[in-house]
Amino acid sequence: MKRILPLSFFILLFSNSLLIAQKSIEQRVDSLIAIMTIDEKVGQLVQFNNGPIDRTQLIREGKAGSLLNVLGTTDTRKFQRIAVEESRLKIPLIFGFDVIHGYRTTFPIPLATACTWDPGLIEKAERVAATEATAAGLNWTFAPMVDIARDPRWGRIAEGAGEDPYLGSIIAAARVRGFQGTDLASPTSLLACVKHFAAYGGAEGGRDYNTVDISERTLREVYLPPFRAAVKAGAGSLMCSFNEIDGTPSSGNRKLLTDILRGEWGFDGFVVSDWGSIGEMIQHGVVADQKQAAILSLHAGVDMDMESNCYAYDLAAAVKERRLPEAELNEAVQRVLREKFRIGLFDNPYKNCDAEREQRDILTPAHRQLARTVADQSIVLLKNQGDLLPLKNNIRSIAVIGPLADDQNDPLGPWSGHGRGEDVVTVLQGIKAKLSSQTKVRFVRGCGINDSSTDGFKEATKTARESDVVIAVVGEAAGMSGEAASRSFLGLPGVQEQLVQALEATGKPVVIVLMNGRPLAIPWIAEHVPAIVETWFLGVEAGNAIADVLFGDYNPSGKITATFPRTTGQVPCYYNHKHTGRPADDTVKWTSRYIDIPSIPLYPFGYGLSYTTFSYNGLALSSGKLHSNDSIVVTAVVKNTGNRAGEEIAQLYIHDEVASVTRPVKELKGFEKVAVVPGESKTIRFVLKADQLRFYDLSMNWTVEAGKFKVFVGPNSTEGLEAEFEYVNQ
């Protein structure tokens, strides 16, 4: 007779085998550490760049644990062979690279993919990025960047998910899952590195690398949640940030790297410094020399030194001089080795050195197809007066104008991995591919991205006048966002706005296609131009995706995840701000506002249009009271009131009406993307848990206080239905 074993048996068996595997990793790490010299231990904590200096001898001597920027299986195999065949202990190297939005198949920048509000899709995109990067010899990506950015002057806003901690946390976890897959040892799994810990986006004035001075409450409620979510999702490594917070540079911040990260959150992966950031503590002025920097950093919890050479040159001496306990060195080594074991490098150091896979798995048609889908959904329709869009395919003539219209490099955006301009479909190419020879498409550049010359305006306006519609592709160069690319002015660079004004003056309908790495301040355009399509930097499929939207083959569904200010002076400008004692009222002088602009932003967080329209009705709560450890169900009906099928991203926000510390005017706590056909109504359902109402009270307890809460459901952070419930502490 066959016996059917209960499911619990298999679960037990599975968890036991996991425990055994885990135990054997710990044992293997410990037995290795037991035979390592101090120099070899330090070697595991050193990461070198693949630059002009030849590191092969250091690898042979066991003095390097990792290399960054080595691309391609030929080179990774070459270095790995030296490590595992010529060094005394044969410890494999781990190869890292910035795979921020794709490897060769460049996807839209992270700020763009966040606008899909689709964690499942983002996870798939990172799976592709991991598949390609691991096929090219890499084991480790310095991503996801999960820094909350409330200041668009900061160029690195392009690399993250925007301004909201809730959405940022969900996307952070999705990216980690996408990179790492379900089994770190698989040949297509790429170790994630969540960065930059912490509050790097809080730089004063939005200037990169600048000082951060924020309260512990803001740190914990706004900046840390996405890190915690990424750690919870299993991120195997973390990068500390360049900045200081309240006088302590992150590379020497034990409270962050040890007490919070490891103590409170239980992180057992390893921490790498940012590029040279350990040595930069000398410039910060908290240490006098490299040796002190190395001691402070290791003690704080930085396990690996990326390129500042403080560990390489000074750490071993510090330990030998007993200025740092060897036990602390051992702990750091343990964490690095543990991850190398987990990703399977000891079992197969060449796991990602498969030249055949490198040929097969990179830039495949399926990868490009996914990049196009992601790009379609990343686009945000900001304005569409008089339903100018979508354009008809049988339109007679189109003027495609602007410095980015036929540009093959800038659509790759900042941090474009191994992406190549030759793989990019430009907007002009994408438009032409949609149309028959019956439509006359003419292109004029008009001006450069950041030039002062208006010489090209004449030809541009002449072509505009001779066409039925004008598509103006304007924005930033890829290098104007990303690292070390802060801007003090958030308008269009150069004479591009003048070009748009000249085109508008022709009287022809103008569609603006924006390409940029941050929210821009474009009040004139927003007021005068009938249609605006925000496309960010969409990667290799940019032109096809933009054409999909311009001609209605894809009905735009994206919503912005960072507020667009009216002017640079309105920054910082984010939706979840505090009320103040004098909330802005533009009709009353003595309120918290500027006298020269309206108080509301140009486009609020969560905003984005569609070619159809949606109505919201019937907001209902399963109960007017929410008890501790319980939840309420919030429902609303979304109806497609237009005449095209579309997807709507419905958002749920709360507001804590009275609390012992001031609370934001709104906080996102749920969202759902729903597909609705014309005339159809769909009920959307959110489960709001008591836990989601928590905040840090006056004594920094993570708590919920009894009292009334508002709940809002709607299409963005400023519109929607409103109801109220009471939280009861029992």
Binding site for ligand NOJ (CB under 6 A): 98, 142, 195, 274-275, 483
Distance, CA of 99 to CA of 296 (rounded, Å): 29
Closest alpha carbon to 146 in 108, 118, 174, 127: 174
Cβ proximity to ligand NOJ, 158 vs 546, nearer residue: 158
Residue 610 near residue 711 (C-beta atoms within 8 A)? no
Q: Where are the alpha helices (DSSP H) in 136-270?
A: 165-180, 216-218, 225-232, 254
Q: Where are the alpha helices (DSSP H) in 95-183?
A: 110-114, 119-135, 165-180
Cβ proximity to ligand NOJ, 99 vs 550, nearer residue: 99
Closest alpha carbon to 42 in 292, 275, 318: 318
Closest distance to ligand NOJ from the beta carbon of 53 (Å)? 17
* Three-class DSSP category at 156: helix
Closest distance to ligand NOJ from the beta carbon of 260 (Å)? 20
Closest distance to ligand NOJ from the beta carbon of 557 (Å)? 30
Name the residue with the smallest CB distance to ligand NOJ.
Answer: 142
Residue 707 near residue 656 (C-beta atoms within 8 A)? yes
Show the tokens assigned to 168: 């940022």
Closest distance to ligand NOJ from the beta carbon of 64 (Å)? 16
3-state secondary structure 208-241: CCCCECCCHHHHHHHHCHHHHHHHHCCCCEEEEC
Closest alpha carbon to 362 in 414, 421, 419: 419
Residue 559 near residue 380 (C-beta atoms within 8 A)? yes
Cβ proximity to ligand NOJ, 94 vs 502, nearer residue: 94
Cβ proximity to ligand NOJ, 98 vs 118, nearer residue: 98
Closest distance to ligand NOJ from the beta carbon of 180 (Å)? 17
Closest distance to ligand NOJ from the beta carbon of 485 (Å)? 12
* Three-class DSSP category at 405: coil
Closest distance to ligand NOJ from the beta carbon of 198 (Å)? 13
Cβ proximity to ligand NOJ, 66 vs 439, nearer residue: 66
Cβ proximity to ligand NOJ, 319 vs 485, nearer residue: 485
In the set 98, 118, 147, 274, the catalytic residue is 274
Cβ proximity to ligand NOJ, 11 vs 484, nearer residue: 484
Task: Count CB neighbours of 703 within 10 A.
Answer: 15
Q: Report the run of H or E that residue 674 belongs to, with start and end.
A: strand 667-676
Cβ proximity to ligand NOJ, 98 vs 647, nearer residue: 98
Closest alpha carbon to 107 in 418, 541, 548: 541
Longest dimension (CA), the chain: 89
Closest distance to ligand NOJ from the beta carbon of 142 (Å)? 3
Distance, CA of 529 to CA of 688 (rounded, Å): 40
Catalytic-residue membership of 164: no
What does each C-alpha distance from 609 to 358, 372, 531, 616, 648 come to in angstroms? 40, 20, 11, 14, 9
Contacts of 661 by beta carbon, 8 Å cutoff, 6+ apart: 217, 695, 696, 697, 698
Point out the residues that are catalytic.
Answer: 274
